[in-house]
Amino acid sequence: MALISVGIDHEHASLDLLERVTVFEHEWNKVLRTLLSQRNIHEAVFVSTCLRTEVIAVIDRFHGAIEEITTTLAEATGLDASEFEDKLTVHFDRGVANHLFSVAAGLKSVVPGEFEILGQLRRALELASEEHTAGAELTELFQRALIAGRRVRAETAIARGTTSFAHASVTMALEELGDDISGAHVVVVGAGQLAAGVVKSLLGAGGQIARVTICNRTVEKADALRAEIGDSRVAVSALDDLAALLSSARLAIVCVETTAPVIAKTHVMNASQPLLLVDLGVPRAVGVDVEELDHVRRVDLGDLHLRIEQALGERHEAANEARVIVEHEVERFLHDQRARGAAAIVSELRDHFDEIVEIELSRREGDLAELSDEQREKVRSLIRSVVAKIAHRPTVALKESAGTDQGIRLNEATRSLFDL
């Protein structure tokens, strides 16, 4: 069996395609069950965020698994496989660890070093564990990736300054508006993790914001977020009040998963002042028709990506340091994995020899009948000692070569020679 990852991400696909392949979290369990029903897939973890939709799996046949994963993604997204298969990024065996550890380190994020990805990977593993689709191999892979991600943030400067998607979005919006944001009313649509980060970043922006209204379909969830934040500048409103709220807002940031835009042209036609709409939704949560209005400007994840690339050039050195840590953690993971494989075959080999000794002693019991118990035990001890000496060199060679190409060849040869 082998490891594989198959995904679509912001580095290789357009925002338009990314939003079309996004699968909402409440549907992940169905995707996981479909994956495990396939012939070549033995374990699977699935994650779908605004910038990444990916399957990590333990498989049998490589090409068979690719086809099964592609078919599953097509079914989950409602797309024909031909619409995305040339944009798939595939990693195999060692490449999977390199890829996943880099993702966890924030090296493949729009905002280098951002923290949200750690929570997303942790949640993906939790759901796979709940669905019993993540076994020992994927569980360890993800746990070690999370450890690598935390180490990168603790030991490098990659996570200093703008370290989250929410923070980067607010920074971009405030820079866009400049002095116009002073004393402004801001609307945040959504009450999830991303929205919480956005609200906290807004309130921490030097006291410029006069009022933030959390607008959410479920008012109780918005109320809970307001209570958690504990700032008198925060108000709560229902999604039905969105048009009225936007009429007096200078800025609105939309942080929701939605199958259809929650803000359309009709919502902002009566805005009393220029309005900046920041769309963090995938699929898009702000209709493109709002751009037909002169007083409305809309920015989305594509704009955010470009701005961040320009602003974070100084993090290149930290990113290089992070890559060194990732490489070290990958090597440790692979060495430990191969060492366990060597320990397993050494144990099997010793058990095999012990079984042969016991079978032969039992078969020749009649020949030893005239010996005393003490003499029979000496014979048994002598045979075991000889067998142990014969087995010593093979077991040492298996242990010493663990983690190398030679070790893999010795492992295979040992299994073949002794029928293990």
The boundaries of every CATH 3.30.460.30 domain in the chain are: 2-155
Quick one: what percent of the chain has pLDDT higher than 70? 94
CATH 3.30.460.30 fits 2-155, yes or no: yes
Question: Element (H or E) spanning 211, and its range?
Answer: strand 209-216
DSSP string, 112-134: TT-SHHHHHHHHHHHHHHHTT--
Mean of pLDDT values over 278-303: 85
**pLDDT (mean) for 378-386:** 86
Q: What pLDDT is attached to residue 308? A: 66
Residues β-bridged to residue 57? 4, 44
Residue 158, classed as helix, strand or coil, is: coil
Mean pLDDT computed over 209-225: 90
**Which DSSP string do the residues of 259-324 spell out, in sequence order?**
SS-SB-HHHHTT-SS-EEEEE--SS-SB-GGGGGSTTEEEE-HHHHHHHHHHHTGGGHHHHHHHHH
Which residues lie across from 8 on neighbouring strands?
Answer: 53
193: DSSP letter: H
Q: What is the mean pLDDT of residues 59-79?
A: 93
CB-based contact 330:97 (threshold 8 Å): yes
Please answer whether residues 101 and 330 qualify as being in contact, where contact means their C-beta atoms are separated by less than 8 angstroms. yes
Question: Whole-structure pTM over 0.85, yes or no?
Answer: no
CATH 3.40.50.720 in the chain, residue ranges: 165-310
**Which tokens sit at 406?**
């030679």
What band does 72 get if pLDDT is binned at 50, 70 and 90? very high
Output the pLDDT for position 310. 62
Q: What is the DSSP letter of 78?
A: T
Contact 132, 177 (CB under 8 A): no
Is residue 418 within 8 A of residue 349, CB to CB? The reply is yes
Burial of 193 (0-12, 13-18, 19+ CB in 10 A): middle
Of 50, 124, 189, 202, the catalytic one is 50
- Closest-CA residue to 119 (of 24, 55, 42, 47): 47
Q: Is the pLDDT assigned to residue 202 strictly greater than 70?
A: yes
Q: Report CA 73 to chain centroid distance, whole Å.
A: 17
165-310 carries CATH number 3.30.470.20: no
- Predicted local distance difference test score (pLDDT) of residue 255: 87
Q: Estimate to the nearest angstrom the gap between the alpha carbon of 276 and the chain centroid.
A: 31
Whether 50 sits among the annotated catalytic residues: the reply is yes
**pLDDT of amino acid 133:** 97
Render 28-59 in DSSP notation, one character per residue. HHHHHHHHHTSTTEEEEEEEEETTEEEEEEEE
**What digits encode the pLDDT tens for the residues 21-41?**
888 888 999 999 999 999 999
If you average pLDDT over residues 41-48, what whole number do you get?
95
pLDDT of residue 407: 72
Average pLDDT value for residue range 42-68: 92
Give the C-alpha separation, 308 to 289, whole Å.
26
Q: What is the pLDDT of residue 189?
A: 93
Asked if residue 219 lies in contact with residue 194, where contact means CB atoms within 8 angstroms, the answer is: no
Maximum mean pLDDT: which of 128-137, 162-171, 305-314: 128-137
Is residue 290 within 8 A of residue 278, CB to CB? The reply is: no
Residue 64 pLDDT class (50, 70, 90 cuts): very high
Are 98 and 323 a contacting pair, CB within 8 Å?
no
- 383 torsion bin: left (phi>0), alpha (psi -120 to 50), beta (else): alpha
